[in-house]
Homo-oligomer: A and B are copies of this chain.
Amino acid sequence: MATQKGSVQNFFEDFRMGQVFDCPTPRVLTDADRVAYIQHTGDRTPRFCNAQGLIHPLIVFHTVLGQTVRQISLNAKANLGYAEMRWHTPVHVGDEIRTTAQIVGLKENSSGETGIVYVKTTGLNQRGEVVLEYCRWAMVKKNRKDVTPYLHEPIVPTLAPLVAADQLVPHPSDPFDARQTGGKFFFEDYAVGERILHQDGVTVNSSDHMSFTRLYQNSARVHFDALLMNGQPLVYGGLPLSIGYAQSFNGIENRTGISAINAGTHANPAYQGDTLYSFTDVLQKADFFPSMGVLRLRMVVVKNEDPAATGQFAIKVRNPNTNKEEYNDRVVLDLDYWEPVARRMRG
């Protein structure tokens, strides 16, 4: 007598505009989360591995996103993008994170088999302070055949193409010491238009990606079940993001930790056995506070081809059939973000 207590969670037709989810399973973040993150990514940014006790902003991101998976994206076919992502109050060892999610857009696809769900996501600490907020959208499967109102009357939120530099949250009192980073380049040294090749390649193994995904209590089946996925479980898109960000320490050592994501696209999936490389284009520079400027960066994570080998890499290519610009099928992630970087002359 099988009952339905083991939930299959929400399909596209189950969501309603304005619906708010209190996401279960608050999580305390500790030294162990710092070490587990280093073990998975090799990140060397000093403030996230020294005695300062700060939690890496991407740990906060994975924790918050993981908390929304069951209610929002357990039945997602693809995680499509992010916008308006800003980190607020820094998270320290011992803080407990919980998350709320609100449906801000719904659009059924013409196939009748999926729809796009737009979710405003807010991560909070134990004092109720916002630590992270963002909008993401995912393609979620339908479970029933009948058409929803969102096929003919889709609701698509207006999302800012860019977090304005003056909306970034500064932390001028956080100690920063360039001797800890080994970086020779400061805010003044970066030029709009330059490309930084990060040089490192990392092959993703099956245990690597599954244990990283479990670490954040993200239980989407596509990442874990080789039988369901015909032997090819999908790598959680957050892993290439974190590997690319760890690689990009090489060349941006005097960074203090990602501050906002303007846009992010998981352009192509990654699987066990893929080798990931990355490079960063400098898009924009802005003042931030006296000792720091902020760089708008485009980090691109590439699979199975080292962009540093040739120094040339086309992020998008023209599809001869459609005559449209499309992502190079080597591109795994295209991320547009703001990164505070120390100035050479401080004070």
In angstroms, how far is the closest chain B Cβ from the Cβ of A105?
A: 23
* Residue in contact with A228 in the complex, picked from B8, B201, B213, CB distance below 8 Å: B201
Contact digits for A84-102, partner B, Cβ 8 Å, 1 yes 0 no:
0000000000101000000
* A:15-53 near B, CB below 8 Å: 22-28, 30-36, 38-46, 49-51
A33-B45 Cα distance, complex, nearest whole Å: 17
A residues with a Cβ closer than 8 A to B are: 1-3, 5-8, 22-28, 30-36, 38-46, 49-51, 70-71, 94, 96, 126, 179-183, 185, 189-191, 193-203, 205-208, 210-215, 217-219, 221, 224-228, 233, 250-253, 273, 275, 279, 304, 306, 308, 311
**Chain B neighbourhood of A217, CB < 8 A:** 38, 42-44, 49
B7 touching A251 by the CB < 8 A rule?
yes
Query: Beyond A51-B28, A182-B23, A225-B275, is A5–B252 a contact (Cβ under 8 Å)?
Result: yes
B199 touching A306 by the CB < 8 A rule?
no
The 4 closest A-B pairs by CB, nearest first: A24-B182, A201-B225, A32-B35, A207-B207
B215 touching A203 by the CB < 8 A rule?
no
A39-B38 Cα distance, complex, nearest whole Å: 13
B49 touching A25 by the CB < 8 A rule?
yes
Q: Which residue of B lies closest to A23 (CB)?
A: B182
**Chain B neighbourhood of A197, CB < 8 A:** 2, 6
**Chain B neighbourhood of A214, CB < 8 A:** 38-42
**Chain B neighbourhood of A28, CB < 8 A:** 31, 49-51
A227 touching B180 by the CB < 8 A rule?
no
A23-B26 Cα distance, complex, nearest whole Å: 36
A227-B303 Cα distance, complex, nearest whole Å: 10
**Chain B neighbourhood of A33, CB < 8 A:** 35
B35 touching A215 by the CB < 8 A rule?
yes
B251 touching A199 by the CB < 8 A rule?
no
A30-B227 Cα distance, complex, nearest whole Å: 35
A44 touching B203 by the CB < 8 A rule?
no
A30 touching B35 by the CB < 8 A rule?
yes
In angstroms, how far is the closest chain B Cβ from the Cβ of A26?
A: 5
Q: Which residue of B lies closest to A206 (CB)?
A: B205
**Chain B neighbourhood of A45, CB < 8 A:** 25
B2 touching A195 by the CB < 8 A rule?
yes
**Chain B neighbourhood of A193, CB < 8 A:** 1
**Chain B neighbourhood of A46, CB < 8 A:** 24-26
What are 12 A-to-B residue pairs whose CB atoms are below 8 Å? Answer: A1-B193, A2-B195, A3-B191, A5-B189, A5-B251, A24-B44, A24-B181, A26-B46, A30-B32, A39-B212, A201-B224, A207-B207
